[in-house]
Amino acid sequence: MKRGSERGVVSERSVRRLYVCICGMTSVPFSFVRSVEFWSWFRMAVCVLPVVLVVMGVYVDYTHTADRCSILTVSNDSLLVEYGEPVKVNCSIPSEPSSVYKLGWESQILPVQTDSETSLVWTSPNLTEWEVNGREMFCYLSVPNTEQCKRKVHLTLYKRPDSVNISSESSVWSEGQMMKLKCEIENVGPLQNLTVQWTRVDQNNITTVTEMPYGSFSTSGEERKNGNVTSTLTVSASRDEDDVQYQCAALLRLDQLQQPQVGSSEPLNITVRYKPIITQPSKGIPNSVIKGNKLVLNCSAHGNPSPQYSWSSPGNKNLTTSSIIISSVQSEDQGQYSCTAYNDEGSDSMNVTVNVLEHPHTTNLSSESSMWSEGQMMKLKCEIKNTGPVQNLTVQWTRVDQNKNRTVTEMPYRRFSISEKQKGSMDVTSTLTVLASHDEDGVQYQCAALLKLEQLQQPQVGSSEPLNITVRYKPIITQPSKGIPNSVIKGNKLVLNCSAHGNPSPQYSWSSPGNKNLTTSSIIISSVQSEDQGQYSCTAYNDEGSDSMNVTVNVLEHPHTTKLSSESSVWSEGQMMKLKCEIKNTGPVQNLTVQWTRVDQNKNRTVTEMPYRRFSISEKQKGSMDVTSTLTVSASRDEDGVQYQCAALLKLEQLQQPQVGSSEPLNITVRCEFITPVNRTV
């Protein structure tokens, strides 16, 4: 034992004895200690101090040990070694301790130590001892009278398999069997880290992976060591497994192994024998073919071995091919055909019904009457002779109007009458009811027979000739428009046209002011006068009825004169002066506007309009009036030199130019008071 250690022990005993001696006293031990308070304080200090010293000593000893052991290092604290490969790991300290020491390796194999070196290598030229797995090895440093320092090293030994083989119970499977695939992995380890991976790749290159961990397969060997493995995968033999490829692989799940797959079998191709399943023709879908056309029936099936075929057909004809071809199908070929596909595993059958269709002998379209009258409900009849199957028949009605707009109406089975003629062949009558109106005049109708069958690329098998419709209807006047009056200036030309639609073509009659009657579609007056003003009535008529229209004609007159005058020829500043515009013989006055125009010395133009009711009126004769409009102006020096003018405007839709009369310009003179300038001397 070192001196320091001895001193530590003596000191500890001395403290313990002093503690017992002093702390065990209950009275003042010495006569020279006069104060009881002093003794209590002294006794408490002596009793508590050893406890503090012991605690501090434990802490100092712990930190001292930790600091001392930190000098011990290893080159690698975790090693993964493949079976038979060399391995070495170094344990070292920076310098030799001042006292005796031992530096060594504690291991299940090849323990080694030194008392004179600062580093020590544990090595194996070809590691094959499985005992290292699951057991830790230590590098240690021992110094007398101190706790031993250790550094732990985790060592794992693994081995790749010598072989990985996959096999099946049988080289050829039969559908419905439960088959076993066996994966044999030879001499691999450690077994506890092994996973067997099964891979399935189907005909579409879709990959499925199944993994079986340790415990789900049989082994020969300890879990921490190497051994042989047999893994079994059970598969249901079905047609989906035919041509599938299986493969198995050995995976070692070890932290330091970047690629866990350490071995893989060759692929195993699976062959499954199964009975045929017919894929063509589709079940329950009849084949329909028009008489005289070519009939082809194909029978196709999947099976292993490849299937053979046999057909039975109407008339007990038997064939041993996969297809039936009839170049020109006849009525006796109609009926049920049966295809059978077979091989050594079984068979599958399919029935196909063939319908032989005939083009309609005729498709006729007729009407109750060749000439319709507006308002009647008329029937069109489409007669289709000798067609079928009628349950697949649709009658298509087509209407094309005068503007080439096309409307199609389809009537399916059960919406027309049927009469059977012979096997599968029927006469069909379809009726379309139409309201006779003038919109139907000139329209063209047509009907067609459609057989909507999947096997027919073109469903239309017959069509009628077009039927042109004629409808008699009373005239409807389209010109002139109702309620719009015609206005014309006296002396101008007046033209009134009357136009109507009707069948037969309408005739016309006019009544006009003065009870003049005309039998033409137009009225033309080369120079209209005041007596031509009034109401005109047009009537269009035929055998179906008539239509009438009234037109009001207004005869307008240019004013005889438009005169502008002032109360005085010279205005005095400050007066309120009136300008008077007199318009003689004009109308209609309700459409009259008086326009006042003011132009100042700077050529600035101002326009003011006064509508009907803002001026005085005096009637002269029918439709003709005299009008007076007044404009009040404040006489100011700004009005001096200004020019005024007034004009008559008739605002009518029929007049492109509303101004029908204008006065001569009137120049204004304003006398202003003279203001003497005031001279100011600064």
* pLDDT attached to residue 626: 85
Q: Is the pLDDT of residue 314 over 50?
A: yes
* pLDDT attached to residue 319: 84
Q: Which residue has the higher pLDDT, 647 or 281?
A: 647
* pLDDT attached to residue 654: 64
Range with the lowest mean pLDDT among 229-233, 248-252, 336-340, 423-427?
Answer: 423-427
Beta carbons of 101 and 141 less than 8 angstroms apart = yes
The domain defined by 561-671 folds into Immunoglobulin-like (2.60.40)
Q: Is the pLDDT of residue 21 over 70?
A: no
pTM greater than the 0.95 cutoff = no
For the sheet with 173-174, list strands across it.
173-174, 272-280, 300-304
Mean pLDDT of the region 11-40: 49
Angle (deg, nearest 10), helices 36-69 and 3-23: 150
Class for the domain spanning 473-556: mainly beta
Q: Is the pLDDT of residue 4 over 60?
A: no
- What would the pLDDT profile of 615-642 be if each residue is shown by its tens digit? 777 765 445 688 899 999 999 999 999 9
Q: Is the pLDDT of residue 424 over 70?
A: no
Q: Is the pLDDT of residue 352 over 60?
A: yes
pLDDT band at residue 431 using 50, 70 and 90 as cut-offs: very high
Q: What SS3 class is residue 620?
A: strand
- What would the pLDDT profile of 89-148 be if each residue is shown by its tens digit? 999 999 888 888 999 998 878 888 888 889 999 999 999 999 888 788 899 999 888 889
Which of 461, 447, 450 has its CA nearest to residue 365? 447
CATH superfamily of 362-469: Immunoglobulins (2.60.40.10)
Beta carbons of 432 and 407 less than 8 angstroms apart = no
- What would the pLDDT profile of 33-75 be if each residue is shown by its tens digit? 445 565 466 566 655 554 444 434 433 343 444 567 888 999 9
Q: What SS3 class is residue 101?
A: coil
Q: Which residue has the higher pLDDT, 332 or 483?
A: 332
- Among 193-202, 282-291, 356-365, 551-560, the range of highest mean pLDDT: 193-202
Domain 163-270 has CATH 2.60.40.10: yes
* pLDDT attached to residue 382: 92
Identical fold, 163-270 and 274-357: yes
* pLDDT attached to residue 11: 40
- Among 1-15, 406-420, 495-509, the range of highest mean pLDDT: 495-509
Q: Is the pLDDT of residue 20 over 50?
A: no
**CATH architecture under which domain 274-357 falls:** Sandwich (2.60)
* pLDDT attached to residue 3: 34
Beta carbons of 499 and 477 less than 8 angstroms apart = yes
CATH of 73-158, one of 2.60.40.10, 3.40.640.10, 3.40.1130.10, 3.40.50.300: 2.60.40.10
Inter-CA distances, 566 with 463, 599, 665, Å? 89, 16, 12
Structure token pair of residue 399: 């209407």
Q: What is the mean pLDDT of the chain?
A: 83
Q: Is the pLDDT of residue 497 over 50?
A: yes
pLDDT band at residue 25 using 50, 70 and 90 as cut-offs: low
Which of 139, 138, 160, 153 has its CA nearest to residue 79? 153
Q: Where are the domains of the chain?
A: 3-69, 73-158, 163-270, 274-357, 362-469, 473-556, 561-671
